[in-house]
Amino acid sequence: MKLQHCAHCTRHVILILSICSVILATDVPKKNVLFIAVDDLRPELGAYGSDFIKSPNIDALASKSLLFERAYCQVAVCSPSRASLLTGRRPDTNHVWKIAGDEYWRTVPDATNATTIPQYFKENGYISIGMGKLFHPGPPSGNDDEEYSWSPEGLPYFHATEEDSIANHSSWYKFDKPDNYLVDGKIADNSVSVLQQLKQNRSSGDLRPFFVGVGFHKPHLPFYCPSKYYDLYPPVEDIKLPENPNPPEGMPDIAFSVSEEIKNQRDVKILMNVTKCTTDVNATKYGEECRVPVTKTKELRRAYYSCVSFTDAQIGKVIKELESQGFADDTIIVLWADHGWQLGEHNEWAKKTNFEDATRVPFILHVPGVTDNGMKTDALVELIDIFPSLTELAGIDVPPMCTENSPKSIACVEDSSVAPLLKNPTMEWKKASFLQYARPLDGLPQIPGYPPFEPNEHGENVMGYTIHVDEYRFTEWYKFDRDTSKPDFNYTWGTELYDHSTPSTFFNDENINLTKKAEMKQTVEELRNILQAGWRKALPPNNE
């Protein structure tokens, strides 16, 4: 009788424990998110193998994170890249392709009104707080999407202003001032204050998890930062020049950008015939008129590196405060850049191309208790993967995959979570990553056998679509209809194929366009089929 009673009790205990387990499983505290954006940061960092760049804080974060060695943006310019990442929808869905006041995804013609990452976390019980450059500021984002994305009862969205005394300098400038003399130093200070306030809120009973977005401006032009960061690097005369200063052999003209962003800087402009190089479509845009002189190239490269180190120091302040306030063990940290940056490779500067240097980005994901020992993967990933990844890892419902005809206002995403790579970084993954860049039709030759295509009021009617696969980067430039957001594959202004099969040192590849090589004909056709089939056909296994 006693034994039967004990067995009966045991069954009850097991039942009670099972019920408790279910309750606990559905009431697991959600993880906080620290969302760090960096403008114009290429993955030339210690964590990515550079022994030259001084980036100790990013490197320390990477040492306890999953580092994505082949991550790509959707568009190599900030506004559409950020719009795509933050809404989880691709540029042709958002109708955001460039920096323009009339390309806010909630108000463009055929607008998506898509839910953003901070908005989705807010709607799932988080306090959502933002600062700095996360969305592109101003009209392109409806002024930081403040009405939707950020908690009204939270701290107000924070933008710092530049000191008047450093305005109107040339492309680079160093000075003996503290870090918080600059916008990014002020943003770092503000993030410290926000984390301290969140800790106080916890002590007062506000147990909501937080989503804190911190957007840094540097190393965006102009390259201003305190002298101590310049002092980390050799003198100008010892700075290395690009190993591949010339455009790729066989490159179609449409692939090239004349890089007005750097060439219109005051100190650069006086050294070059910028007007000539930006108006003569064929003869001079690759020539000496459009080449930044050697000494200035070295100055600019050193200045860019210095600003990378300055930004790295600000990131260190934020992470140190996160740890100091006791949030480290339950906070996911994601660090990303909106696109890469060209530093004279291929005679290119800044972004606005589909070259590897403009499109490959740092993407680092720390999940406490999962990535603490550091991990790397060479799986192809995209910035648009961040939305579904963060929601899954934080413990909230992952938005569904958008269908071809998803309602415009629902929360859905156009790619998949990278969470499986945390378990197996070498698993089979995407067949290809996808990105694009628009070019104006003006100055391009009419395609024989086809009627002319009338430009619309935006003046951009050619879209360069790119895929990366395991061994190649493939791009074609098609006629594009902005009203329908569709390419016409019959009109082609150029094709590019570059060999990525042999890992190289930083930023010295893509020097020969292989499309005219007879032995590459079948490869071109295979890659064209993947590109034209679209991203849905290239999703990871079990996500198609």
Please give the Cα distance from 472 to 369 (Å, whole number).
35
By CB neighbour count within 10 A (0-12 exposed, 13-18 middle, 19+ buried), where does 163 fall? middle
Neighbouring residues of 343: CB distance < 8 A, sequence distance ≥ 6 = 42, 242, 297, 300, 301, 304, 349, 357, 507
Q: What is the pLDDT of residue 303?
A: 98
What does the pLDDT look like over 470-497, one tens digit per residue?
A: 999 999 999 998 888 899 999 899 999 9
Query: Per the residue annotation, which of 73, 78, 307, 402 is the catalytic one?
Result: 78
Q: What is the pLDDT of residue 162?
A: 76
- The residue to which tokens 């090589």 are assigned: 517
Q: What is the pLDDT of residue 516?
A: 93
- Under the banding of pLDDT at 50, 70 and 90, the label for residue 284 is low
Residue type, 193: S
Q: Please tell me whether the peptide bond between 140 and the residue prior to it is cis, using omega within 30 degrees of 0.
A: no
Q: Please, are residues 215 and 134 in contact by the beta-carbon 8 Å criterion?
A: yes
By CB neighbour count within 10 A (0-12 exposed, 13-18 middle, 19+ buried), where does 225 fall? buried
Residue 173's DSSP bridge partners are: 224
- Under the banding of pLDDT at 50, 70 and 90, the label for residue 456 is low
What does the pLDDT look like over 161-214, one tens digit per residue?
A: 876 666 667 899 999 999 999 999 999 999 999 999 999 999 999 999 999 999
Please give the Cα distance from 34 to 72 (Å, whole number).
21
Query: Per the residue annotation, which of 73, 95, 136, 339 is the catalytic one?
Result: 136
Q: What is the pLDDT of residue 459?
A: 67
The mean pLDDT of the chain is: 89
Please give the Cα distance from 21 to 24 (Å, whole number).
5
Please say if 159 is a catalytic residue: no
- Span of 318-322, 452-456, 461-465 with lowest mean pLDDT: 452-456
Can you give the pTM of this predicted structure? 0.92
Please say if 9 is a catalytic residue: no
Q: Please, are residues 84 and 390 in contact by the beta-carbon 8 Å criterion?
A: no
Q: What is the pLDDT of residue 17?
A: 35
Provide mean pLDDT across the span 230-258: 95
Q: Is 48 helix (H, G, I), strand (E, B) or coil?
A: helix
The string of DSSP codes covering 311-370 is HHHHHHHHHHHHHHTT-GGGEEEEEEESS--EESGGG-EES-S-SHHHHEE-EEEE-TTT
Q: Please, are residues 315 and 217 in contact by the beta-carbon 8 Å criterion?
A: no
What does the pLDDT look like over 371-420, one tens digit per residue?
A: 999 999 999 999 999 999 999 999 999 999 999 888 788 899 999 999 99
Q: Which two tokens stand for residue 517?
A: 């090589």
pLDDT over 50 at 11, yes or no: no
Please give the Cα distance from 493 to 446 (Å, whole number).
9
pLDDT over 70 at 20, yes or no: no
Q: What is the pLDDT of residue 544?
A: 53
> In the chain, what percentage of residues exceed pLDDT 70?
88
Q: Name all domains of the chain by residue range, CATH numbers in brackets.
A: 32-416 (3.40.720.10)
Please give the Cα distance from 247 to 228 (Å, whole number).
35
What does the pLDDT look like over 288-309, one tens digit per residue?
A: 777 899 999 999 999 999 999 9
What does the pLDDT look like over 126-160, one tens digit per residue?
A: 999 999 999 999 999 999 999 999 999 878 999 99
Please give the Cα distance from 519 to 515 (Å, whole number).
9
Tell which residue, 535, 413, 393, 319, has the closest CA to residue 116.
413
The secondary element (H helix, E strand) that includes residue 89 is none
Q: Please tell me whether the peptide bond between 219 and the residue prior to it is cis, using omega within 30 degrees of 0.
A: yes
Q: Which two tokens stand for residue 423?
A: 């378990």
